[in-house]
Chain A
Amino acid sequence: MARMKFYCDAERCIECNACVTACKNENEVPWGVNRRRVVTINDGVPGERSLSVACMHCSDAPCATVCPVDCFYTTDDGVVLHDKDICIGCGYCFYACPFGAPQFPEDGAFASRGKMDKCTFCAGGPEEDNSADEYQKYGSNRLAEGKLPLCAEMCSTKSLLAGDANVVADIFRKRVVKRGASVLNKGVSYQNASLRASSVGKDK
């Protein structure tokens, strides 16, 4: 049993938005809904960082806590999923989620909310694995096929990592160690990084 997690490495993300496109294509998400988005901080200035964000599949998910119809469940792999047959589109999960993961397709007059849609970690929904019904409601179920989410699988800089939290953390730990060494060695790979911070300040 794994504990599935995403990790986006802000030192590697180049804001290509391929993860956003891949997700949209793989899951045929409704118009106006983006399960994943790339956000760029300090856009256009040195020290710019980009992050790809979707559902974080929280261990203690606030969306599941506030849902008035209790439609969320966590799979054995630690993926937070919801049942669209139960969902009433009230929007409370959207208020409760700090990351803005829950999305609502427009349904009817005055932009009223349809059933919530969010990242499923490419794990479908409560329907039978890879059934047409499941695909139509939740998109593909790559996990059932033994594959990881497409956004992370096709990330060109391997910035976005998805998989068992232990493995992801291990990869990231190795990266940090290498980066730390390169910075100590007066590497130039990243300005304003934590260990070089004070010297950068002095240069100015």
Chain B
Amino acid sequence: MSNRFMSKHSQKFTCQIYFFLYLIFFLCLLSPLNVSASGPAASKINNPSNDLWISVRHNTESGKVTSQVKSVDSTVLINPQADRWTRFRMTQLINYGLFILSVVAVVIMLFYLFRGRIKLEEGLSGIMVHRFTDYERILHWMLAIVFIFLAGTGLILLFGRPLLIPVLGHEFFSVLASASKEGHNLFGPIFFVSLLLMLFRFVRRNIYAKGDLTWLLKGGGLIGKSHVTGGFFNMGEKTWYWIVILTGLAISVSGLVLVLPNFGQGRVIMELSHVVHGIAAIILVSVSFGHIYLATKGTEGTLESMKTGYVDIKWAEEHHDRWAKECHDNDRLISAEDYAKLQGRVVLDQNVSASPLMEETK
């Protein structure tokens, strides 16, 4: 009885062993190493003619390759990277790019629906403090306008064929795409210049400092209601700055490689540049959605800083407590009346007193 049981048990055991052996065997078959391992090297027929065309196929010819046509890459018979680039653009950049941008847009919309506008807890006080100089604001808006234009034209070129051609038709879309291409090429270098000016102007205030980690751990105030600490720029703004600078530089350099074909760069360099350009641009555009939302609709009082250069002291206290304290200490607060004068809104109130003054100056 027990013997029978044992044999049954051992049968089952051997079955299991065979199963595992088979499994290992199949795994070996599946392994890519197998291709070189199983092919017996001794039986390989030496075939220089075949080898020649295989090397041409992979662009690895060892001998001298010449052509009477003297242009860049004219001696490259087959560029094996071309197919990889095609697949990257058609199956990854367009699909994932559209997916990422849509997801970011939807997330921001949902955030707005559920959280709403982040209002100042104590409301606006009317007491202002100077935040950005004219130069900084002009620089910001120059970069912003050029960026929005480049992002728009770039997205038209990237997604136009699947999204716009069915709506606009080939002829009209061609005109739009041509204008987009020319505009993109023309304004690209301006973006680069603005970006460099931005880099030099703001780099000192955007170096990560003590307290930034706390900001990150508290989720930047987006989660919950508690206030988070921040200097002139808080951690989120600093990160946005570095995303702009790093992806912006990658986009600018790769863009210049693409737009100026007269430095003799080959197709492979241009394909790589396009990959860098596309990935960096998708990152920058999707993060810019967040920046644009938070700076306009998302938080109360933020847009003022880039419109007038002044912010409400309550806004500073709630979002940039350490900087607000600095302002208090250095006595940089501007009263509502002084601020109104600065903004040229005094004319209505002081019309009477202003006119004799004007006559006097005459």
Interface residues on A, range: 35 or more
Pairwise interchain contact A111-B260, C-beta atoms closer than 8 A: yes
Instruction: For the complex formed, measure the closest distance between the CB of B17 and the CB atoms of chain A, giving whole angstroms.
Output: 45
Which single member of B47, B76, B267 contacts A197 (CB below 8 Å)? B47
Asked whether A69 and B173 contact (CB < 8 A) given A95-B82, A95-B270, the answer is yes
CA distance A62 to B78 in the complex (A): 13
User: Quick check: is A157 within 8 A (CB to CB) of the other chain?
Assistant: no
CA distance A43 to B75 in the complex (A): 11
CB contact list, A180-204 vs B, under 8 A? 192-194, 197-198, 200-201
Pairwise interchain contact A37-B78, C-beta atoms closer than 8 A: no
Asked whether A53 and B77 contact (CB < 8 A) given A41-B65, A66-B90, A88-B177, the answer is yes
Asked whether A68 and B157 contact (CB < 8 A) given A37-B68, A39-B77, the answer is yes
What chain A residues lie within 8 Å of B157 (beta carbons)? Answer: 68, 90
What chain B residues lie within 8 Å of A192 (beta carbons)? Answer: 48-49, 52
Interface residues on B, range: 35 or more
B76, closest chain A residue (CB): A100
Pairwise interchain contact A65-B181, C-beta atoms closer than 8 A: no
Pairwise interchain contact B61-A41, C-beta atoms closer than 8 A: yes
User: Quick check: is A163 within 8 A (CB to CB) of the other chain?
Assistant: no
CB contact list, B225-268 vs A, under 8 A? 258-262, 267
- Interface readout for A19-59 with B: 1 if CB under 8 Å, 0 if not? 01000000000001010011111111101110101000000
Total number of A-B contacts with CB less than 8 angstroms?
A: 151
User: Quick check: is A159 within 8 A (CB to CB) of the other chain?
Assistant: no
- Interface readout for B33-73 with A: 1 if CB under 8 Å, 0 if not? 00000000000011111101000100001011111110101
Which single member of B80, B86, B160 contacts A69 (CB below 8 Å)? B160
Asked whether A91 and B78 contact (CB < 8 A) given A41-B65, A69-B174, the answer is no
User: Quick check: is B218 within 8 A (CB to CB) of the other chain?
Assistant: no
CA distance A111 to B256 in the complex (A): 12
Pairwise interchain contact A40-B177, C-beta atoms closer than 8 A: no
Pairwise interchain contact B174-A95, C-beta atoms closer than 8 A: no
B66, closest chain A residue (CB): A43
User: Quick check: is B107 within 8 A (CB to CB) of the other chain?
Assistant: no
User: Quick check: is B360 within 8 A (CB to CB) of the other chain?
Assistant: no
CA distance A113 to B165 in the complex (A): 23
CA distance A67 to B158 in the complex (A): 10
Instruction: For the complex formed, measure the closest distance between the CB of A93 and the CB atoms of chain B, giving whole angstroms.
Output: 10
Asked whether A39 and B65 contact (CB < 8 A) given A51-B77, A62-B83, A66-B89, the answer is yes
Pairwise interchain contact B161-A34, C-beta atoms closer than 8 A: no
User: Quick check: is B305 within 8 A (CB to CB) of the other chain?
Assistant: no
User: Quick check: is B312 within 8 A (CB to CB) of the other chain?
Assistant: no
B179, closest chain A residue (CB): A88
Interchain Cβ contacts under 8 Å between A and B, 23 examples:
A17-B68, A34-B74, A39-B67, A39-B77, A41-B56, A41-B63, A43-B65, A53-B77, A62-B83, A66-B86, A66-B89, A68-B157, A70-B165, A85-B174, A88-B174, A89-B181, A90-B177, A95-B82, A95-B267, A98-B83, A100-B76, A110-B262, A200-B48
6 closest Cβ contacts across the A-B interface? A42-B63, A111-B262, A37-B69, A98-B82, A88-B178, A86-B174
Using a CB–CB distance below 8 Å, which chain B residues touch chain A?
45-50, 52, 56, 61, 63-69, 71, 73-80, 82-83, 85-86, 89-90, 157-158, 160-161, 165, 170-171, 173-174, 177-178, 181, 185, 258-262, 267, 270-271, 274
